[in-house]
Copies of this chain bind each other. A is one copy, B any other.
Amino acid sequence: MKEKELRRSLSVLPIGTVMKLTDLSARQIRYYEQQGLVIPERNEGNRRMYSLNNVDQLLEIKDYLSEGINMAGIRHIYEQQKEREHAKQEQMQKSLTDTDVRRILREEIKAVGGLADRADKLSVHKKKL
C-alpha cells in the first residue's frame, strides 16, 4: 500500500479546493498554517498546494476546535503524535536489527546444517560409532 500513501501525500490541491472540501475559509486555513499546524507545499508560483492528508488533518483540526480545544492544544496534540511516531520509528529501527539478528542466526544454522550434511555423508560410518 505504498502507492496509496504516495497518492495521499501528493500536493495537488489548490486552496480553493481545500476550502470546499473542508468548509473552512482561506483565512482559517492560512491561520492554521501560521500556527504551525498544516504547512502545505508551494508550487513554483508560491501558491499553496495541499495533499489529501493535509485535508484530513484540517478536518481533524475542525473537530478539535469544535471540541473547544485551542490552537495551542492542537499543536500539543500533534507534537505528541510526532513523538509517538518518532518512538515507533525507533522501535522499527530496533526490530529491524532484531530481524538482522535472526537472519544472522539463520545463516549460522545453515552453516551448522552444512556440517550436519557432511555428518550425514559420513553416516555410513554411523553404525560403526
Number of copies: 2
Tally of A interface residues using CB under 8 Å: 9
Separation in Å of the A17 CB from the closest CB of chain B? 4
Question: Which chain B residues lie closer than 8 Å to A49 at the CB level?
Answer: 17
A:18-52 near B, CB below 8 Å: 20-21, 43, 49
Question: Which chain B residues lie closer than 8 Å to A43 at the CB level?
Answer: 16
What CA separation (Å) do A49 and B13 show in the bound complex? 10
For residue A12, CB closer than 8 A to chain B, the reply is yes
Closest to A21 in B: B12
Interface residues of A (CB under 8 A from B): 12-14, 16-17, 20-21, 43, 49
